[in-house]
Amino acid sequence: MFSIKKVVTVVLNTVFVMSAALFASTISADNGQQELQLAQLSDGFNAETTYMASCFACHSTGAANAPKVGEGNADAWAPRLEKGMDAVVQNAINGLGAMPPKGLCFTCTDDDLRAVVQYMVDSST
Ligand code: HEC
C-alpha cells in the first residue's frame, strides 16, 4: 500500500521537476529569440538594393571623399577596416564627418546597415 507521505513526496518531486524544466525551457526560449532577433534583417531587405537606393550616390562617386565602392577600390577600405568591422559599422550607424547617420537610410536597422557595409566592403576588391 502507498503511504500518504510517499504519495505526497512523489507529487512534490514531480511538481518540482516539472517547474524546473519549465523554468529552464523558458530561459532557453528567451535566448533563442534574442539570437534570432540579432540575426534578423528587416522584411524584404536586400543589401544591394539598399546600397543602390541610399549609399550609391556618394559611395560610387567618392563625393566628399566617401570611400568608393566597387572593383579597384580595396585601397579605399583597407585603412578604414584596420579599426575593425564593428567600428566601421558603428560609424555608418552614427555618421562620420560628411557621412550622414545611417547613410540616410532611416528605415534601416543596425543589422541592415551592417549587411550593407559588408556588401560594400565585399564589392570593393
Ligand atoms: C551624403 C553622402 C553619403 C551617403 C548618402 C552615404 N555615405 Fe557613407 N560616407 C560618406 C563620406 C563622405 C564618408 C567618409 C567620412 C570620413 O571619413 O570623414 C563615408 C564613409 C562611410 C563608411 C566608412 C566609415 C569608416 O569607419 O571609415 C561606411 C562604412 C559608410 N560610409 C557606409 C555608408 C552606408 C552603408 C550608406 C548607405 C546606407 C552610406 N554610407 C551613405 C558619405 C556618404
Residue range 22-32, pLDDT digits in tens? 444 444 445 44
Judge if 58 and 17 occupy the same domain: no
* Domain limits for position 81: 47-123
Domain count, the chain: 2
Judge if 71 and 90 occupy the same domain: yes
CA 85, distance to chain mean position in Å, is 12
- Three-state DSSP at 23 gives helix
Judge if 21 and 61 occupy the same domain: no
**Quick check: 35 pLDDT over 90?**
no
Judge if 102 and 82 occupy the same domain: yes
Look-up of cell digits 564627418: 97
**47 Cβ below 6 A of ligand 1:** no
Pocket of ligand 1, candidates 49, 58, 114, 123: which has the most ligand atoms within 8 Å of its Cβ, to mutate?
Answer: 58
CATH of the domain at 111: 1.10.760.10
CA distances from 96 to 15, 24, 64, 92 (A): 57, 44, 12, 7
Please tell me the predicted confidence (pLDDT) of residue 22: 46
Judge if 15 and 60 occupy the same domain: no
Please tell me the predicted confidence (pLDDT) of residue 18: 53
Q: Model confidence over 54-94: pLDDT tens digits?
A: 999 999 999 999 999 999 999 999 999 999 999 999 999 99
Give pTM, 2 decimals: 0.77
Q: How many helices (H) and strands (E) does the chain have?
A: 6, 0
Pocket of ligand 1, candidates 59, 75, 116, 117: which has the most ligand atoms within 8 Å of its Cβ, to mutate?
Answer: 59
